[in-house]
């Protein structure tokens, strides 16, 4: 059943995700930011759900380099590719930290929570620091746990169909507007 309150690109995305089934690509997205030195940075993150109609939720560690990137430049791009539908979604938006994140923390498994208690991302492993995989019970919310809200203002969908590819662009000015563009 279609939700008429959602932007039309969300309907396309929902269809792509459904056809993808249990594939990891249903949750794994590529997030691009710009470093403080104006260099592009790209990494795979996990899509955690929606905040309102057109904002994606991502969890990260406060100590990760992307936090510094986003403080100096909140603009980012997400790429999400679905092999079964041959659909590539490119989302442009701004990322901000959500301050009320306890419910998100509570939704994590104990094993997932433990990863926010290990050493800083990208640093050499210190054997004296608690292992990220050591499972503890009832962990309090880590100060390193951050929920990012990626507020989307542009969606570019490329459908790699045969014999002719199709491409659509949605932009949010006051409301979402869709335009068919050349692939």
In a domain, 129, yes or no: no
Residue range 78-107: mean pLDDT, rounded: 94
Q: What is the pLDDT of residues 2-11, one digit of tens each?
A: 466 789 999 9
- Percentage of the chain lying above the pLDDT 90 cut: 72
CA distance 68 to 74: 10
The pLDDT of residue 112 is 86
Q: Which residue has the higher pLDDT, 88 or 124?
A: 88
pLDDT tens-digit series, residues 145-169: 999 999 999 999 999 988 999 999 9
User: Residue 37 sits in a domain of what CATH number?
Assistant: 2.30.110.10
Query: How many domains, the chain?
Result: 1
- Over residues 55-66, the mean pLDDT reads 96
Distances 93 to 5, 78, 166 between C-alpha atoms, Å: 20, 8, 23
Tokens of 138: 């009832």
Query: Which has the minimum average pLDDT: 42-46, 49-53, 134-138?
Result: 134-138
User: How far apart are the C-alpha atoms of 151 and 97, rounded to whole Å?
Assistant: 11
Is residue 121 in some structural domain?
no
On whether residue 162 sits in a domain, the answer given is yes
For residue 126, being part of any structural domain is answered with no
Q: Residue 170: which domain range? A: 8-107+144-181
Q: H/E element holding 113?
A: helix 110-114
Which residues are paired to 20 by β-bridges?
none
The model carries a pTM of 0.89
């Amino acid at each position: 059943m279609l939700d008429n309150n959602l932007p039309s690109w969300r309907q396309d995305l929902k269809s792509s995700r459904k056809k993808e089934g249990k594939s990891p690509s249903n949750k794994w997205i590529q997030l691009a930011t710009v470093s403080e030195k104006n260099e592009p940075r790209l990494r795979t993150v996990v899509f955690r759900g929606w905040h309102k109609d057109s904002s994606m939720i991502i969890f990260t560690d406060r100590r990760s380099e992307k936090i510094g990137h986003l403080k100096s430049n909140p603009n980012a791009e997400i790429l999400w590719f679905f092999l079964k539908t041959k659909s590539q979604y490119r989302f442009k938006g701004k990322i901000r930290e959500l301050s009320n994140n306890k419910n998100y923390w509570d939704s994590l498994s104990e094993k997932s929570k433990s990863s926010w208690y290990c050493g800083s991302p990208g640093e050499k492993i210190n054997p004296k620091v608690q292992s990220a995989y050591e499972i503890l019970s009832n962990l309090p919310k880590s100060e390193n746990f951050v929920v990012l809200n990626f507020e989307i203002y542009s969606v570019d969908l490329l459908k790699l169909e045969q014999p002719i590819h199709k491409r659509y662009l949605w932009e949010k000015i006051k409301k979402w507007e869709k335009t068919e563009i050349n692939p």
